[in-house]
Amino acid sequence: MENLEQQLRSASGEVPDVVKELRQEVEALRNRLQNPENLTLRKTSQDSSASNTPSTSKRKKRVTGKHQPYGRRDPDSARQVYNKFMEISEGSACEGVRKWLRQATFESDAWSDEELLLLLQHIYVDLGLPSRFGISMPVLRRFLFAVYDNYNDVPFHNFRHCFCVAQMMYAMICKAELMPRIGELETFILITSCICHDLDHPGYNNIYQINARTELALRYNDISPLENHHCSVTFRILEEDPESDIFANLSPTDYRKVREGVIRCILATDMARHNEILAQFREIIPIFDYENPAHINLLSMVLIKVADISNEARPMNVAEPWLDRLLQEFFSQSDAEKMEGLPVTPFMDRDKVTKPSSQCSFIGYVLLPLFEALGDLLPELDDLIIIPVREALDYYRRLNEAAKDERHRRSVDAASGGGSCKGDGGTEDGMTHSALLDPNSTSSAAPSGGHTYGGNVLTKSGSAHSMRSKRSLQWMRSHSHSHSRSYDGGDYEPVPQIPEKSRSIDATGEETLTEGILAENRPINEEADEEESSEEEDVDEEGEETVTEVEVSEKALKFKISTEGSSTIVLPPTGVRKRRESRVEGRVKTDDEGEGETNTSGGGKAGGTQDVPAEPSSQSTAPQDGDRTLDLTEENSQQPCRSQKNHHHSSIMSRLRHFTERLSLGGGDGHGRREGGLSPPNTPPRPHSDCSGASRGRASPLAMQRKTASLGREGHGKVGRGWRALVGGKGGNSSAAEGGGDSTGSTGSFLAACSPEELGNGTAGASPSAASSTSSSSVQPLRRKKGQERDVEEEIPGEGSLARSLDSMLQRDHCKWWQHQKIGRSGGPSPSSKQRGFFSFSSARSRGEKQAGGRGGGEARGSIGSGGSKGPPLLGGSIRRRKHNIGSQKVTGPGKVSVVLADGVACESAN
């Protein structure tokens, strides 16, 4: 522009007005673009021309990643989804689908995007939320679509993930009959939070955001940058398009509670806060009081966390594609980290992670302890989520054990000049069939770390097995004989096994020896302390572990916001070994015996219970009441922490210094400068085949099974097409649909997709899924069929021919297909003669059913608690809510400054 103006000036002596105006516009545009706030959402105004679609234009600039390989979905396809959603939006799910929607077996892949939107609508309506909170159906639909439109096209953290989380939340609410207990408002908060909890997720996590110093990390000062962003986007959606504002008719009090609640819940999904939240929750379980808002707060945070990581509670054919997507996202991030010279996040590193190792670690150390804590309070959820997760862990342990056995066998073979890796039970991919196939195999349950292989017990030298507790071994033994998902609910105490992480297995079963996991990952992935090295000495090379996401994420949070409204500098754990021990022992010690008091003085309540160490000297990473910050001054560094008998204080001090330096400095030259100059990685999302698994690149029965099960990702609509063909669309355009969406509904057509008789007569051979169903149902004890191997390359979603043939089959025989899906879920509901097929497509009126909608239309279902006024304060709890002036600072101790980040959230740090 400047050049142009200069030329014009020299040519004609003046700059014409039109050019001046143009310049102003360019300036305004530049300002908009440079302010990331303006870029978070797609502007409604930009595309309002097209059928009143709320928002479908491409955002110009990302705020969530420097080198971002992912993007939004194509605006045209989003618009199409909107139009289709509007077409079907007055339909409703039939009874069979509704029931399925309350199960962990629900398969989101079976539905198109617009169908999922319809199902989300159903969830709101079924819970009576629109009528209770004055949400008209057009507003609800517009909101749901805006949410859809603000998810990115990333492998895992996409709209379908948010759907799954919301659906699991719905299932838990129904199963445990939570609504009367927690109240309508909290239910509203929970469902909405689930739907919004990963909005605009870039596919790269907080660790990347912080290390790469992205706009988000800068904006949120490294404090849960993504979760803060998800919250921010949530409320921007509502602010920027009042027609989508589902909170518009809330009273000011309720609005405040909802806003606080949604923020609280979404922020709780940061895995860096996992231990803190779990520890606090465990504290209150024995005294849980549904009348106590602080307890409800914490329960909600746990519920959303559980829903968020609940994929492994789903049947194998649902869970595994999600794991593949997650690893795809992980690997893409670690590839980018490598290319950008950033610390490589160990649990995301394709060179170090296998599916079984990843899942053993995650389920054993992160997921199951959380689920079981929830199960302690809500035993109703055992069947729904806890037992399936135990089985998943059992399965992955077996895989891990088998892989270890195989490696051992190979090394023995190699040492003795032995030959082939194949034969006598070994598979091409390094798995030992005997261990996988034989549920009675003792290989995963051998006491004292013994492995059986070919009848010989190989004694493992390492400490990993010795770190299993007796109870763990007992459980593993008992479960190695388990043949059914119908777990007897016996005396199971989950004590995680130490998964093997030090080696990964490639497609041929070749193992890649990894270096010390922590060694490569500076700054925030490293345990740099010498003392720690010595602490690790008793971990043999096979017992080496990859730190979990929680551990790495905790470290990534320089400031850890506590739910008490203050924040604390996290004490770095004293070492992997101690962490493991504390996990192994902590639960046993804390729940009943009260031995976990070693690190609190005066019986401090908050925190620490999960990580209560086996040894008094170990550290809890959870903040303790009364001593929430670590004083960094030299003189105080010599003093023991007030609330912790800290035998390692000085080393922790040095570690902390080291750690905080590294944190703030990023990788690179050791002086805080990342090595620049690297070209953008330009790493497109890896195809599925790049997710390393215990076995890759080979077709297998399982792969076929999975292929048939994870249907129609070619547009996500394959399966639904059968239904859509039947329903045919209402024929109304989107605006008509919007207009007609009040509680009375318009004259929607009624269409029962198939009759109960048809369902009852379905035969197993009718579809590829039926094959899946048959085979998986015949192997109840494990989540996998005997001999099933992992084959990632075979799992590419949406791969043509099978999906196509299924699609055409579905158009003929969708009812049977659906029935088989139901049959096929291990642990899923048995098909009932009352099942009514896919969807019935009916208006509220024609079904004579409550269809919430316009104000006062339709009452809430179920027994609902008192008026939804239970919304507790943000960050409340045991938990004093503090009113602060945002931005204010005060010195809170020698070398410490407290800065108020947001209402109720203060951050204390060394100055």
Ligand X SMILES: Nc1nc2c(ncn2[C@@H]2O[C@H](COP(=O)(O)O)[C@@H](O)[C@H]2O)c(=O)[nH]1
Number of Cα atoms under 13 Å in the Cβ half of residue 792:
24
CB of 230 to Zn ion, least distance (A): 9
| 160 belongs to an annotated ligand binding site | yes
Contacting ligand X (CB under 6 A), which of 144, 168, 303, 323? 323
Task: Tell whether residue 500 is a contact of ligand X (CB under 6 A).
Answer: no
Residues contacting ligand X: total by CB under 6 A? 15
As given in the structure block, the two tokens for residue 579 are 């962490």
Q: How far is the CB of 445 from ligand X (least distance, A)?
A: 23
Query: Do the annotations mark residue 158 as ligand-binding?
Result: yes
269 contacts ligand X (rule: CB under 6 A):
yes
- Contact region for ligand X (CB under 6 A) — 169-177, 354-362, 394-402, 850-858? 354-362
Q: Name which position in 144, 173, 309, 779 contacts ligand X (CB under 6 A).
A: 309
Q: Which amino acid is at 88?
A: I
| Whole-angstrom distance, CA of residue 220 vs CA of residue 217 | 5
Token pair of 73, please? 């979905």
Q: Is 323:311 a contact under the CB 8 Å cutoff?
A: yes
Restricted to residues 531-550, the positions that interact with ligand X (CB under 6 A) are 549
Query: Where does residue 608 fall: left (phi above 0), alpha (psi -120 to 50 degrees), or beta otherwise?
Result: left
Position 137 contacts ligand X (CB under 6 A): no
Q: Is 358 near ligand X (CB under 6 A)?
A: yes
User: Do the annotations mark residue 198 as ligand-binding?
Assistant: yes
What, of ligand X, Zn ion, none, does residue 191 touch, CB below 5 to 8 Å by kind? none
Residue 879 backbone phi and psi in degrees, to 5: 75, 95
Q: Which residues of 491-508 are buried (b: 16+ CB within 10 A; e: fewer)?
A: ebebbbbbbbbbbbbbbe
3-state secondary structure of 135: coil
The C-alpha angle with vertex 169 and arms to 163 and 175, in degrees rounded to 5, equals 135
Interface region with ligand X, contact rule CB under 6 A, candidates 130-138, 257-265, 309-317, 721-729: 309-317
Q: How far is the CB of 40 from ligand X (least distance, A)?
A: 18
Supply the minimum distance, in Å, between the C-beta of residue 549 and ligand X.
5
527 binds, among ligand X, Zn ion, none (CB under 5 to 8 A by kind): none
The span of 306-314, 588-596, 598-606, 794-802 binding ligand X (CB under 6 A) equals 306-314
In the region spanning residues 787 to 806, those forming contacts with ligand X, defined by CB under 6 A, are none
Residue ranges in contact with Zn ion by CB under 5 A: 198, 308
Annotated ligand binding at 121? The verdict is no
Reduce the secondary structure of 378-409 to three states and give it as a string.
CHHHHHHHHHHHHHHHHHHHHHHHHHHHHHHH
The answer to the question of residue 362 lying near ligand X (CB under 6 A) is yes
In the complex, minimum distance from the CB of residue 323 to ligand X, in angstroms, rounded to a whole number: 5
Counting contacts by CB under 6 A, is residue 308 touching ligand X? yes
CA distance 261 to 192: 10
Nearer to ligand X, 113 or 312 (CB): 312
Q: Using the rule CB under 6 A, is 90 a contact of ligand X?
A: no
79 labelled binding-site residue: no
**Which residues in the 179-198 window bind ligand X by CB under 6 A?**
197-198
Strand (E) or helix (H) holding 631: none
User: Binding site annotation covers 153?
Assistant: no
Backbone φ and ψ of 905, nearest 5°: -125, 115
Closest CB to ligand X among residues 265, 770: 265
Choose the contact partner of 72 out of Zn ion, ligand X, none; CB within 5 to 8 A by kind: none
Q: Which of 122, 157, 649, 884 is catalytic?
A: 157
- Is the four-CA dihedral 539, 544, 546, 552 of positive or negative sign? positive
Farthest-apart Cα atoms in the chain, separation = 97
- Sign of the Cα torsion 439, 440, 441, 447 reads positive
> Which helix (H) or strand (E) covers residue 725, if one does?
helix 718-727
Of these partners, Zn ion, ligand X, none, which one is at the site of residue 716 (CB under 5 to 8 Å by kind)? none
Residue nearest to ligand X (CB): 362
Q: Of all helices (H) and strands (E), which one includes residue 264?
A: helix 252-268
Give the β-pairing of 511-513 and 503-505: antiparallel
Task: Choose among Zn ion, ligand X, none what residue 271 binds, the Cβ cut-off being 5 to 8 Å by kind.
Answer: ligand X
What is the full DSSP assignment across 669-714?
SSSS-----PPP---PPPPGGGS--SS-S---HHHHHHHHHS---S
User: Active site includes 157?
Assistant: yes
Do you find a cis peptide bond into 523, omega within 30 degrees of 0?
A: yes
Catalytically active residues, by annotation = 157
Binding-site residues for AMP, in ranges, read 157-161, 198, 308, 359
Binding-site residues for Zn(2+), in ranges, read 161, 197-198, 308
Binding site for ligand X (CB under 6 A): 157, 197-198, 269, 271, 308-309, 311-312, 323, 326, 358-359, 362, 549
